[in-house]
Structure formats: C-alpha cells, structure tokens
Amino acid sequence: MKRTALVSFALLFAMIGVLGLSQNKEIPSRVGYIDAQKVIEAHPKYDEIKALRTQADAELKPIAEQLRALEPKIRDGSATAKERQDFDNLQKVYAEASKKWQDKINAALAPITKEIDATIARVAAQNGFAMILSANVAGQSGLVVYASPDIDVTDLVIRALSAQ
C-alpha cells in the first residue's frame, strides 16, 4: 500500500512538473508587416511575370483602343448597328484575351508566392514573430492606421529570398 501511494505520489509530481514546463513555453507575440508587392518584385523570377504582362499589354492595347474609339458613339446612341456589333464583339475578344493572360500570369505567380509564403514563415519563426501582415492590405482596409518602421520585415524577407 505504501509502495502504491509512493508511486502515485511520484507520478503526480511528475505530471505537475511536465504541465509546468509546457505552460512556460514562450509563445512569440511580435507582429510585423511586409510590403508584399515589393517582395514579389524582388523575387528572382519576377522578370518572367513582367515579360508576361508586357505580352498581355501588347495584345490587349489595340483592342482597348478600338473599344475607346467606339465608346462615345455607343454612349450617345449614334452608333450604327455594325458599330454596336463590332463593339460587342471587341468586348468579348478583350474579355477572353484578358482572362487568358490573367490565367497565365496567375500560373506563373503561384510558385513564386508559395516560395515567398514559406520564406515569410521561416523569417517570422527565426525572428520571433507570431504574425506578419501585408502592409498594403492592412492600410487599405483601415485595420492598421500606424505601424512602426521597426517591425517592417520586408527587407529581411527579400534577403532571405536572395540567399536561397
């Protein structure tokens, strides 16, 4: 009986000790922010995205100019039936081409943003940050009205991306 009581007593103290250790685990509480666009533009493969955007602009610009030329006539009702039909067709062509290019750009951006997200997570963990916000989104939404420049981790993330 004494032995069972001693073992139970020892187990109780061991459990209390383990619980005490687990409660003392330091949880990061720092919050930081990044300029997401600056990080994307600093990525080594961003030139591919710029090239795709240039190609998209080259294809879309002439269509947009044709639409702009027809738009005043459509708006004031002086367009002929052919001009209205041309305008409708150009809108469809523009929408399809825009979607095609946006899909290509999104596909090229996906691995870049995945790598950036992993890098942000690594930089946050290494520097004791519990959360990293996008400065652009936080500012535009009104969620954050002021943030100290001391918690801007944009350059840390860019350096970490460059080091990979």
Rounded CA-CA distance 75/23 in Å is: 68
pLDDT in the model for residue 34: 94
Domain coordinates of the chain in residue numbers? Answer: 25-163
Residue at 88: amino acid letter: D
pLDDT in the model for residue 140: 84
SS3 40: helix
- 89 is written with which tokens? 């067709």
pLDDT in the model for residue 7: 44
pLDDT in the model for residue 25: 61
Residues 72-77: contacts with CB under 8 Å, at least 24 apart: none
Rounded CA-CA distance 59/56 in Å is: 5
pLDDT in the model for residue 163: 84
Return per-residue pLDDT of the chain as tens, 164 residues.
455 544 444 444 444 555 454 455 666 678 999 999 999 999 999 999 999 999 999 999 999 999 999 999 989 989 899 999 999 999 999 999 999 999 999 999 999 999 999 999 999 999 999 999 988 888 888 888 888 888 899 999 999 998 87
* C-beta of residue 98 within 8 angstroms of C-beta of residue 61: no
Identify which of 134, 106, 124, 108 has the alpha carbon closest to the alpha carbon of residue 160: 124
Classify domain 25-163 by CATH number.
3.30.910.20
Indicate the pTM of the whole model: 0.72
